[in-house]
A and B are shown apart, each in its own frame.
Chain A
Amino acid sequence: MTLDLSAEEQAMREGDLGPAIALAMRVICRTGDAMRAERLLAITGAHIDSCLFHGQAGLDFAARLASDGARVKVPTTLNVASLDLVHPELFRGPSDTGAKARELMSHYETMGCQPTWTCAPYQLDNRPSRGEHVAWAESNAIVFANSVLGARTHRYGDFIDICAAITGRAPAAGLHLDENRMGQVVFDLGDLPQSVIQHGLLAPVLGHFVGGRVGALVPVIHNAPNFTEDQMKSFGSAAASSGSVGIFHVVGVTPEADTLHAALGGQAPQTTITVTLDDLRRAWGELSTTSSEKLGAVSLGTPHYSIREFDRLLELLGSRQVDPRVHFYVNTGRGVAAELALRGWLGRLEKAGVQLVTDTCTYITPVMSPFDGAAMTDSPKWAYYAPGNLGVEVVFGSTEACVESAVAGRVVGDTGPW
Chain B
Amino acid sequence: MSGRAEGPVVVLSDPLSFWGGFDAESGEITDQRHPQCGIKLTGAVLLMPAGRGSSSASSVLAEAIRLGTAPAAVVMREDDEIVALGSIVADELYGMVMPVVVVDDAEYGRIAAANRVRLGRESLAVLS
Interface residues of A (CB under 8 A from B): 23, 26-27, 30-31, 34-36, 49-50, 52, 54-58, 60-61, 64, 137-139, 142, 154-161, 174, 215-216, 240-241, 243-244, 385, 387-389
Whether A157 contacts B78 by the Cβ 8 Å rule is no
B104 within 8 A of A: no
B19 touches A30 (CB 8 A): no
Q: List 24 A-B contacts (CB under 8 A).
A: A27-B85, A27-B89, A31-B84, A34-B79, A34-B84, A52-B56, A54-B24, A54-B56, A54-B60, A56-B63, A57-B66, A57-B89, A57-B93, A58-B59, A139-B54, A154-B81, A157-B54, A157-B55, A158-B58, A159-B58, A159-B59, A159-B62, A388-B20, A388-B31
C-alpha spacing A142/B60, complex, angstroms = 20
Complex alpha-carbon distance, A375 and B88, angstroms: 38
Total inter-chain residue pairs, C-beta < 8 Å: 122
CB distance from B113 to the nearest CB of A (A): 24
A167 to B27 CA separation, bound complex (whole angstroms)? 33
A244 neighbours in B (Cβ, 8 Å): 15, 50-53
Query: Contact between A55 and B89 (Cβ–Cβ < 8 Å)?
Result: no
Q: Which residues of B contact A56 (CB under 8 A)?
A: 63, 66
* Partner among B32, B54, B58, B67 whose Cβ is within 8 Å of the Cβ of A387: B32
Total interface residues on B, CB under 8 Å, equals: 40
B residues in contact with A142, CB < 8 Å: 55
A55, A138, A215, A216: the one within 8 Å of B55 (CB)? A138
Q: B42 in the interface, Cβ–Cβ < 8 Å? A: no
Q: Quick one: which of A27, A35, A215 contacts B79, CB cutoff 8 A?
A: A35
Q: Given A55-B63, A56-B63, are A157 and B31 also a contact pair (CB < 8 Å)? A: no
**Most chain-A CB neighbours within 10 Å: which of B19, B65, B66?**
B19
Partner of B63, one of A54, A385, A388: A54
Q: Which residue in chain B gives the minimum CB-CB distance to A211?
A: B53
Q: Say yes or no for B90: interface residue by CB 8 A criterion.
A: yes
Residues of B within 8 A of A157 (CB): 54-59, 81-82, 85
**Residues in B neighbouring A23, C-beta threshold 8 A:** 92
B80 nearest CB neighbor, chain A only: A34
Closest to B91 in A: A30
